[in-house]
Amino acid sequence: DAKTTQPPSMDCAEGRAANLPCNHSTISGNEYVYWYRQIHSQGPQYIIHGLKNNETNEMASLIITEDRKSSTLILPHATLRDTAVYYCIVRVEGTGNQFYFGTGTSLTVIP
Amino acid sequence: DTGVSQDPRHKITKRGQNVTFRCDPISEHNRLYWYRQTLGQGPEFLTYFQNEAQLEKSRLLSDRFSAERPKGSFSTLEIQRTEQGDSAMYLCASSRWTENTGELFFGEGSRLTVL
């Protein structure tokens, strides 16, 4: 079951940075934070993941607080194509390895 | 990389009929997952395979649902005696599991409408 809390919706102006928060106050030491997004009528798409260090790739940056109880996904220059539902997932390590999605944050990028 | 493919993309059926969905994962991926997604909700885990072994089934997977991955490649998800509550998008995902990563690659989904 989902162990994260995200705001249900956010808006962002095109070209500006989109900062999507996620709370995961019960995260344990071996659990990673993953971010996926789902554009309407498509399957979810992997964005980024991290354990405790900040991470950056060509799509986004992931900032994890020192106590690991929350994180922020940053889309540095949001475009209209970034309009999607963004899911923050805490993934259990080990044999299970399931990804439990919550309801996510619906991000709307406004022209 | 042809990605994860699912078939059919859309299925409309009458209550009580059986339906089967097929998923072809990315060829070198040893893990395959099935999820269900209803309108306004995130994907819900149903079951997953490592190679041909079905390692876990969610309590959401009732007796009317059965999934197979006979040769560790493609998988099928069958729903028997469909009910209107089965209407949803059925998503398949695959991954090449390693200890620290294993992100999922999803297909486009199979949308089921039960009348």
In this predicted structure, the answer to whether residue A22 has a pLDDT above a threshold of 90 is yes
Mean pLDDT lowest among A30-34, A52-56, A95-99, B17-21: A95-99
* pLDDT reported for residue B59: 87
CB contact (8 A) between residue A97 and residue B108 = no
CB contact (8 A) between residue B109 and residue A100 = no
User: A111, exposed or middle or buried, with CB in 10 Å at 0-12, 13-18, 19+?
Assistant: exposed
Closest to A101 measured CA to CA, from A32, A36, A50, A18: A36
pLDDT tens-digit series, residues B48-86: 998 999 988 988 889 999 999 998 899 999 999 999 999
Q: Quote the percentage of chain B above a pLDDT of 70.
A: 95
- A4 Cα to chain B: minimum distance (Å): 12
3-state secondary structure string, A6-66? CCCEEEEECCCCEEEEEECCCCCCCCEEEEEEECCCCCCEEEEEECCCCEECCCCEEEECC
Half-sphere exposure for B38 (CA within 13 Å, toward CB): 7
* pLDDT reported for residue B79: 97
* pLDDT reported for residue B1: 54
**Mutate which: A3, A98, A103, vs B, most B CBs within 10 A:** A98
CB contact (8 A) between residue A101 and residue B104 = no
* 8 A C-beta contact, residue B22 and residue B79: no
